Chains A and B, each alone.
Chain A
Amino acid sequence: MALLTHRIEGSDLQFVEITLAAGEAVVGEPGAMMYADEAVEMDTRMGDGDDASFFGRIAAGFKRAFTGENFFTSVFTNNTSRPLRVAFAAPSPGKMVVVDLASIGGTLICQRGAFLGGTRGVRVGVAFKKRLRAGLFGGEGFVMQRISGSGTAIIHASGTLAQISLRAGESLKVDTGCLAALQTSVTYDVMYVGKLKTSILGGEGLFLAQLKGPGIVWLQSLPMKRLRASLLGASMAQSRGAGGKMLYFLGIIIFVIYSLAQLP
């Protein structure tokens, strides 16, 4: 399958423009499309947007929904004889990575909701983490995304994405939640942070994710959870300020009423 011709624009709030060759088709998450040439044909299909049987498409749809994607897929096809453009925008601040699936062995494991689009025929399935401790404490949960096929997959994660290669036997300590994607040959486990003092005061929690090579991993600098917590914390702080002001006014009102009641 041919690889997609693409261009990523923007630094932290990115979109990707794909140039569709004549007859080529891409799939994208519903709602991700930013713009497309007039002649690009847009279609919405159940499941992965491929030509599977009806029940196969329903099953694929449920698999996708289970891994944080939409039940439906938008398919963009170029039925003209000249190249056309279609662009997908990232849903949150972060980075996109375009992965050639064939070069990494045909399968990529991602965190839930990472898939943004790709060559038509790329399938999104469930990667169930079978190690109890990694599922519970690894920060990614038990269900991750298995993106497989032979074309291009575009994944997205919040924060900045770092691609790190691990040699055979080489191992990396990663803050839980920062794992965005990994090759299937990488072993993913959790380890206790090591010292009681560090686990309480170190700020990394009790566990760290452990990634062991060989293979490539993609790490994100700002997991969605942390971004949400910091935004929520900021907005809470503001509302707490407002609450304090309210309390202040309430105190004055009570004082005034009390003083009035004391008058003869």
Chain B
Amino acid sequence: MSEITGTLHSPQLPEAGVPVRLQFLGDLLRIEGAGTQDVMADTLEVSVIGFNDDTLQLAWQEGDGTHAVTIADAVSQRALVASAPASLARKLRGGRGDIRFHRGKWSVVIGALVTCVLLVALVWWQSEAITEWIANRVSMETELRIGEHALTQIETETELTQEGLAAKTVAEIGGRLTVGSRYKYRWYVSNDKEVNAFALPGGIIVVNAGLIAKAGSADELAGVLAHEIQHVEHRHTLQQMIHAAGWAAVLAVVLGDVSAITAIVVHQLGNLHNSRQLEEQADVEGMKALARAGIPVEGMAAMFRRLQSEEARVGDDTPGLLSSHPATAERIVELERLSKTLRCTCRSLSYDWPAVQAALPGVVR
């Protein structure tokens, strides 16, 4: 049994208290240090005191006033509880519980705060991995439903067609590039003059008339298609939508406004920006798809180069495809480097390209 030490405060003693040793003898508490005195255990009143609420006080009335022993250190407190007579031990355990509560509440509060901060940091840091994880758990049917919902949104703004030579050409080239895919692709040509193309979840690919009008050959169109197909295959668009929806959900919780979610998601549909890594992945995989399909891989780089020179010439009027697919010089260099490493028995696509361009919906020249 370890020694129980405490401080005795009595009217006759120095005000700061006198160090004493405590010991239970049956129902008596023996206090040694400032002489020896015995106190009946059942007259003791237990309370928790001190600056930190971590000291046990045993107080009793005697003659000239209140006397008290205070026990500050945890070892002595445990020994005190262990050796006290049953009735007092119960009260002491209550006191120890209070001390633990006072100590524990701050640990809990600080722990909870730290956990929250770490969690937010982790989500922030790993947001791409998390959205990818979620995106891979969305079923094909759901994905298609999301894609079709987005398609109806786009149809309210532009006119889409699957008819005509242009759309047929797109579908044919796309078909060659997506042999063996788990998605059932649908190809649309819109009458939008903006030089752009985009992929919606579930295998819906929309090519703007402006892009076909600007492309120099069917190979260049194939390059763009190969790139967009990868966004579908790797569920990039879905990931970006989940990402945007996630932030919108956070925003909605903060602002308490559910309509904010819909507003933001609808807004995001129009201009989803894929991250640099996702674009790179789409480039590389798109190149491989071109090579597999036997289509010259140089088309992709050529298309981007054309757009870049266009941007330099026109000035501030950035083509839409560039604003969502930044065609930096290094990216073009990377594409050209890749096109040299890929082996392919490629033959240029044999379409009557001017005829395809002439069959575009709307007036885009």
For the complex, what is the distance from the CA of A104 to the CA of B55, rounded to whole Å? 15
For the complex, what is the distance from the CA of A64 to the CA of B349, rounded to whole Å? 77
Q: Does A165 contact B (CB under 8 A)?
A: yes
Given contacts A103-B16, A130-B102, A183-B16, contact A214 B70 (CB under 8 A): yes
> At the interface with chain B, which of A5-13, A147-155, A185-193, A220-228?
A185-193
**Interface positions of A from 47 to 66, Cβ below 8 Å from B:** none
B-side interface size class: 20 to 34
In contact, B49 and A187 (Cβ under 8 angstroms) = yes
In contact, B53 and A130 (Cβ under 8 angstroms) = yes
Contact among B9, B53, B103, B105 for A168, CB-based, below 8 A = B9
Q: Does A212 contact B (CB under 8 A)?
A: yes
Cβ of A101 to closest chain B Cβ, rounded Å: 10
For the complex, what is the distance from the CA of A130 to the CA of B49, rounded to whole Å? 13
For the complex, what is the distance from the CA of A215 to the CA of B15, rounded to whole Å? 6
Cβ of B164 to closest chain A Cβ, rounded Å: 73
> Hey, what's the 0/1 contact readout for A98-121 against B, CB within 8 Å counting as 1?
000001110001000000000000
> Hey, what's the 0/1 contact readout for A170-207 against B, CB within 8 Å counting as 1?
10000000000011111110000000000000000000
Residues of B within 8 A of A165 (CB): 15
A109, A169, A188 interface centre (most CB from chain B within 10 Å): A169
In contact, A169 and B68 (Cβ under 8 angstroms) = yes
Residues of B within 8 A of A109 (CB): 51
For the complex, what is the distance from the CA of A127 to the CA of B52, rounded to whole Å? 8
Contact among A103, A167, A185 for B65, CB-based, below 8 A = A167
Residues of B within 8 A of A103 (CB): 14, 16
In contact, A169 and B51 (Cβ under 8 angstroms) = no
In contact, B66 and A184 (Cβ under 8 angstroms) = no
Residues of B within 8 A of A188 (CB): 51
> Hey, what's the 0/1 contact readout for B18-48 against A, CB within 8 Å counting as 1?
0100000000000000000000000000000
Cβ of B112 to closest chain A Cβ, rounded Å: 15
In contact, B50 and A186 (Cβ under 8 angstroms) = yes
**Interface positions of B from 70 to 97, Cβ below 8 Å from A:** 70, 72
Q: Does B57 contact A (CB under 8 A)?
A: yes
Cβ of B160 to closest chain A Cβ, rounded Å: 62
Q: Does A86 contact B (CB under 8 A)?
A: no
**Closest B residue to A186 using CB positions:** B51
Residues of A within 8 A of B9 (CB): 167-168, 185, 213-215
Q: Does B7 contact A (CB under 8 A)?
A: yes
In contact, B50 and A184 (Cβ under 8 angstroms) = yes
Contact among B7, B49, B102 for A105, CB-based, below 8 A = B7
Q: Does B320 contact A (CB under 8 A)?
A: no
**Closest A residue to B55 using CB positions:** A185
Residues of B within 8 A of A75 (CB): none
For the complex, what is the distance from the CA of A183 to the CA of B72, rounded to whole Å? 12
In contact, A184 and B52 (Cβ under 8 angstroms) = yes
Contact among B14, B53, B106 for A187, CB-based, below 8 A = B53
**Interface positions of B from 174 to 192, Cβ below 8 Å from A:** none
> Hey, what's the 0/1 contact readout for B202-213 against A, CB within 8 Å counting as 1?
000000000000
Q: Does A240 contact B (CB under 8 A)?
A: no
Given contacts A167-B9, A167-B65, A167-B66, contact A185 B15 (CB under 8 A): no
Cβ of B55 to closest chain A Cβ, rounded Å: 6
Residues of A within 8 A of B53 (CB): 130-131, 187
For the complex, what is the distance from the CA of A186 to the CA of B7, rounded to whole Å? 12
Cβ of B224 to closest chain A Cβ, rounded Å: 59
For the complex, what is the distance from the CA of A184 to the CA of B67, rounded to whole Å? 17
For the complex, what is the distance from the CA of A216 to the CA of B9, rounded to whole Å? 11
Residues of B within 8 A of A131 (CB): 53
**Interface positions of B from 83 to 130, Cβ below 8 Å from A:** 102-103, 105-106
Residues of B within 8 A of A127 (CB): 51-52
Residues of A within 8 A of B103 (CB): 130
For the complex, what is the distance from the CA of A213 to the CA of B16, rounded to whole Å? 10
What 5 A-B pairs are tightest by C-beta distance, nearest first? A168-B68, A165-B15, A214-B9, A168-B66, A104-B16
* Chain B interfacial positions (CB closer than 8 Å to A): 7, 9, 11, 14-17, 19, 49-53, 55, 57, 59, 65-68, 70, 72, 102-103, 105-106
24 contacts between A and B (CB under 8 A): A104-B17, A105-B7, A130-B53, A130-B103, A130-B106, A167-B65, A168-B57, A168-B67, A168-B68, A169-B59, A183-B16, A184-B55, A184-B72, A185-B17, A185-B49, A185-B50, A185-B72, A186-B50, A187-B51, A187-B53, A214-B9, A214-B17, A214-B70, A216-B15
* Chain A interfacial positions (CB closer than 8 Å to B): 103-105, 109, 127, 129-131, 165, 167-170, 182-188, 212-216
